[in-house]
Structures are given as C-alpha cells and as structure tokens.
Chain A
C-alpha cells in the first residue's frame, strides 16, 4: 500500500474577512434594554458590533470571507482540497456549512466538514488544517470561522445582548519550507459544560458570567504560555497577541499575565463584539490591513469558549 506524503511544514498563506453592513451601537441597544454605553464599554469593552441581515446566513458570510482569503494568497478555488468551517451557530445541524461554502466558491468536491469548538473553533481548525498539510491528506485548506450569534441571542437579555456580534474570518493554510504554525496547546473542561449553553433548539444562549470570567482570567494564561513554550517563542518575542474577543477585561488580564510586552494586543471586540469562532481571524485580518503586524512576525492566537474548550498556538503572520 501507499501512504500520503506531506509538506515539511504548514503556514497561513492569506486571510479574508466579512463584516455585515449593519453597525449596532450600545445606544441602539439601550433603546430596547436597560443598559447604557458607558456600562457596556466598562464591563465588556464593546462599542459597536455588526449584525447580519435577516437573509444573510452563516454560509453566506463564510463564503465571502473564504473567497477573499483564497484571492489574498493568489490561489484559485481549484487549488483548495479541504474546507473546514468552525461554527456553532448554524440554523440547523444538517447539512453542514463547509460543503455549501465550497460549492458557493466553486471549489470542486473537496473534503468538507464543520468544527464545533465554539469560540476556540478557528484555532482547532487551523491546527487540523496544518496537520492535514503536513500529513499529505490535503495541500491547501480553507479554514473559516463564521457565526451568526444574533440568531441565538435573546435581545431582551441585558447580560448577553450587549456582548455578541456576527461575522466571518478565513485563512488558507498551505505548504511551507520552514515552520510557521507552532504546536497547539489545547484542551477542554467538560465539567463546566453548562456554564455557556443553548439548552435546546428553542432557547437562546445563556452564560454564567462570573464563573466563565473567573475561568478565563485564571486558566488561560498558562495555556498561552504553554503555546509559546511549545513553539520556542518567548512571550516577549511575540509581535501580536490575538485572543478570542470575548471581553476586553479578559483580553487585558491574559495579556498582562503572559508578559507579551512587545506585542500588539487585538482589541477588535470594540468594533465587532464577540463573534465566537470568527473573532480571531477578523481581528488578525484587521491588524494586517492596518499594518500593525509584519508578514512573518510571530503571533499568538488563543481561542476559548463553550465546551469549555480552548486552544492556543503561535503562527507566523501571512
């Protein structure tokens, strides 16, 4: 028999994003629920968020972001042979998003599956993609994080309505002659599964804010440091730190604890809200657009969320 022969290493070749057109401010939300701009900025850090239109689906957003990522690295749809969509907000469980995204983009019959690791999903996807490229099961993998959280948000619940947003971000992972995606530090805490959950298909997302906040501000800095150690990159050498955009106070607490002194810290939550699996690629994409991080510079990405699940790894900026 034969076995696949892979590339020596994998890297992120290009990024793409999609931000829905509608910008919703804290004052807009205050018209419906008892909240105000200052309160939301101080607790969560969100200033505005994007909300998808009624006819704009997870698949629609994923396809736009994915198409941009493929174009950004100068590839064609036909070059992609695996599509991975990280999402936890599809309107139904069947069919998956990945096959539809592939069809939309004219990618002919690639492997296609979804990853549900909630807000950690994009990092799980990148890890899986890098493994596929190195093992030889795929050459170019499209990884998309896409979420329509507005469908699962109770707009009368002041504890969650202020947090979430919609959007999609994508990356193409392909072969590299040198290491460019570090080993992953990942894991889960299923004993805390009910702290972030949608109880059933007629329910909205609920979260135990204090418990999740305590977990995020204490358990994740060690994961971030482990990811750096596995990659052989000191936190002080990081050019950027792009954690899941859950809450500005969590982001700043983790950044402080890992001592990434030279790193630009992603704060896209201010403009995008918490977009779950889409938040890391959206934030990274924006940093690259703004010239805040150079091509080839080491970036720590750190996803964490429902499950609970978490994953961190150092990647070189495309």
Chain B
C-alpha cells in the first residue's frame, strides 16, 4: 500500500471518528493542534487504523504520532514488517 493510499484511508477514518474534512488531512498537520483531535479520539482512530491496515499501534507508540505524516510512515513501516 502506498503512502498516499494510507493517507487517504486515514483521512476517511478521521472524518468518521472526529469529523475532520479529508482535504485537511495533509502530512504536516498535527492531530491535536491543527485537526483538533482529542486523546480519546486518537485511541478510536488507532483502533480503526489497526483494523483497516492490519497493524498494531500500542498506546506508547500512539503518543509519538504527532502529525498525519508520523502516522502514515508508522503504518507504512508496520505493514512492511507484517
């Protein structure tokens, strides 16, 4: 799966869980500061992403995913290992 596909998939999750507009989901955006996603929504997004992309995102890793770009590259790497 390409990083663009992952970003598009992530955007769909963000829209469903937190009402974020897909066009706003660009790599440099911070989940909390730019997209107004709170900590519990982050968990819901992680759970949905785990299911969609077939990866594991533990809470301690989740804490390091500050931007959309962080999440995309984490998922990309995790998929490569899987």
Considering only CB atoms and an 8 Å cut-off, how many residues of chain A contact the other chain? 13
Number of A-B contacts (CB under 8 A): 27
Instruction: Name B residues whose Cβ lies closer than 8 Å to a Cβ of A.
Output: 38-40, 42-44, 46-47, 59, 62
Is B62 in contact with A210, judged by CB distance below 8 angstroms? Answer: yes
Is B38 in contact with A210, judged by CB distance below 8 angstroms? Answer: no
Is B38 in contact with A43, judged by CB distance below 8 angstroms? Answer: yes
Report B-chain residues with C-beta under 8 Å of the C-beta of A209: 39-40
A318 to B24, CA, bound (A): 52
Instruction: Name A residues whose Cβ lies closer than 8 Å to a Cβ of B.
Output: 42-43, 208-211, 213-214, 217-218, 247, 249, 253
The dominant DSSP class at the B interface is helix
Report B-chain residues with C-beta under 8 Å of the C-beta of A247: 40
Report A-chain residues with C-beta under 8 Å of the C-beta of B62: 210
Is A42 in contact with B43, judged by CB distance below 8 angstroms? Answer: no
A42 to B42, CA, bound (A): 14
Report B-chain residues with C-beta under 8 Å of the C-beta of A217: 43-44, 47
Is A249 in contact with B40, judged by CB distance below 8 angstroms? Answer: yes
Which residue of A has the minimal Cβ distance to B57?
A214
Report B-chain residues with C-beta under 8 Å of the C-beta of A208: 59
Minimum-distance CB pairs A-B, first 9: A214-B43, A213-B43, A210-B43, A213-B40, A210-B59, A211-B59, A210-B39, A43-B38, A43-B40
